Chain A
Amino acid sequence: DIVMTQSPDSLAVSLGERATIDCKSSQSLLYSSNNKDYLAWYQQKPGQPPKLLIYWASTRESGVPDRFSGSGSGTDFTLTISSLQAEDVAVYYCQQYYSTPMTFGQGTRLEIK
Chain B
Amino acid sequence: EVQLVESGGGLVQPGGSLRLSCAASGFTFSSYWMHWVRQAPGKGLVWVSRIKSDESSTNYADSVKGRFTISRDNGKNTLYLQMNSLRAEDTAVYYCARTRIAVRDAFDIWGQGTMVTVSS
| Contact stretch, chosen from B10-18, B73-81, B84-92, B107-115 | B107-115
Q: Are A104 and B104 in contact (CB under 8 A)?
A: no
Chain B residues proximal to chain A, CB less than 8 Å: 35, 37, 44-47, 50, 59, 61-62, 95, 100, 104-108, 110-113
Q: How large, as a class, is the contact surface on chain A?
A: 20 to 34
Which residues of chain B are near A44, meaning CB under 8 Å?
A: 45
**Counting CB contacts under 8 A, is A68 at the interface?**
no
Q: How many Å lie between the Cα of A52 and that of B97 in the bound state?
A: 11
Of the candidates A97, A105, A106, the one whose C-beta lies within 8 Å of that of B106 is A97
Closest chain B residue to A38 by CB distance? B104
Shortest distance in angstroms between A64's beta carbon and chain B's nearest beta carbon? 11
**Counting CB contacts under 8 A, is A40 at the interface?**
yes
Shortest distance in angstroms between B104's beta carbon and chain A's nearest beta carbon? 5
Q: How many Å lie between the Cα of A107 and that of B107 in the bound state?
A: 16
Closest chain B residue to A98 by CB distance? B104
Q: Are B45 and A55 in contact (CB under 8 A)?
A: no
Which residues of chain B are near A99, meaning CB under 8 Å?
A: 104
Closest CB pairs A-B (n = 6): A40-B106, A55-B106, A49-B110, A104-B45, A102-B47, A100-B59
**Counting CB contacts under 8 A, is A103 at the interface?**
yes
Which residues of chain A are near B110, meaning CB under 8 Å?
A: 49-51
Q: Mark A74-99, 1 if CB is under 8 A from B, else 0.
A: 00000000000000000001010111
Q: Given A51-B110, A95-B106, 10 other A-B contacts at CB below 8 A?
A: A40-B107, A44-B45, A49-B95, A49-B112, A49-B113, A50-B95, A55-B105, A100-B59, A102-B50, A103-B47
Closest chain A residue to B105 by CB distance? A97
Which residues of chain A are near B50, meaning CB under 8 Å?
A: 100, 102
User: Can you offer 15 A-B residue contacts whose CB atoms are under 8 A?
Assistant: A49-B111, A49-B112, A52-B106, A55-B100, A55-B108, A95-B106, A97-B104, A98-B104, A99-B104, A100-B50, A101-B47, A101-B62, A103-B47, A105-B44, A107-B44
